Amino acid sequence: MVDFDIESAAFLESVLNASSDCIKVLSLQGKLLFMNNGGLNVMEVDDFNTAQGCDWTSFWAGENHPLALGALEAAKAGQTGKFTGMANTLRGNPRWWDVTVTPIFGQGGASPSHLLSISRDITEAKEAQTRRELLTEELDHRVRNLLAVVSAIAAQTFAALDRSSLAAFTARLVALGNAQGLLVQTAWQSASIHDVVDKALKPHAPEERAHCSGPEVPLSAKEALALALAVHELATNATKYGAWSNSCGKVEVRWTVTDRELRFFWNESGGPEVQAPTRTGFGSRILDRNLASEFRGKVEADYCHSGLRFTLIAPR
């Protein structure tokens, strides 16, 4: 049983004033006609009379101004306009806002009679995001420095040993560094399979002799690092012994995904005749053990005469 008049002006006003969002009624020309108490508070308006009738879009300066104009025009056309931008309060304090502008239809309902603008203060969330980004960038910088130090120590420690082994070790560090750079962008949550493959291939692949295709697939941090190392090893072998060791060989990298399974294929063609390795090196262990383990799947390498066929099958 409703014991209040839900249509009364006083009740509707109390509902508006109960919100901490900045709720405004605008004319079709964008003039400010009404602001709720929550809006007066967050916008630091002491006396609404000082703001009443002003152009709402004038609150938005610089690159935010066209966003406000666009939202206003969308609402006038009977649609919903949305944007996120910065605007000062009436006391000059900058705040970040998540803004929605919608039409208010008159009794006829054919066209808007007024516009409703709701702005939510998201300054704290924006500042927290900025702090996270700064910390993430600092972490990325420190990890890259650490990898550089490890590389330098390895160069000094193993200077008398086989230079090709040292070069292979350094190249693997670079591949790891590139992959973790991608992960930094999402706070080590995930990385795009496209980006991981492209980054790992870039130091090796002649652009016209490598073809990559497949749907967008987000990878976990462990999967991204494992795949980056695996693609690096495959590309290194293709450059030394496989399709990219001559002037005409090609590599096709593709993947498919369903609700249950990811399939990743590395297919070489046009290179010299391929033979299976006679021993299992570190690169092979990266492919056979590390990749399969991190993806909880299985791998298969088929050393066809026409070129290596490498496949990863993993559950999703």
> What average pLDDT does the chain have?
85
Residue 160: the pLDDT is 64
Query: Hey, what CATH class is 9-121 in?
Result: alpha beta
Q: Which amino acid is at 315?
A: P
DSSP 159-207: TTS-HHHHHHHHHHHHHHHHHHHHHHTTTTS-EEHHHHHHHHHTTT--G
Q: pTM of the full predicted structure?
A: 0.52
Q: Which residues in the chain are classed under CATH 3.30.450.20?
A: 9-121
User: Among 20-24, 136-140, 263-267, which stretch is predicted with the lowest mean pLDDT?
Assistant: 136-140
Beta-sheet pairing, 261-269 with 307-315: antiparallel
The band of 129, judged by pLDDT with boundaries at 50, 70 and 90, is confident
Residue where the block lists tokens 């900025």 = 130
Residue 6: the pLDDT is 47
The band of 314, judged by pLDDT with boundaries at 50, 70 and 90, is very high
Please check the confidence at residue 1 and state whether its pLDDT lies above 90.
Answer: no
Residue 16: the pLDDT is 79
* Strand (E) or helix (H) holding 88: strand 81-88
Residue 180: the pLDDT is 66
| Architecture of the domain delimited by 126-315 | 2-Layer Sandwich (3.30)
Residue 143: the pLDDT is 67
Report pLDDT digits (tens) over 153-212.
Answer: 666 666 666 667 667 776 777 776 777 666 666 666 778 899 899 888 888 877 788 999
Residue 82: the pLDDT is 97
Residue 188: the pLDDT is 61
Measured between its terminal Cα atoms, the distance across the chain in Å is 51
Residue 2: the pLDDT is 42
Asked if 40 contacts 48 with a C-beta cutoff of 8 angstroms, the reply is yes
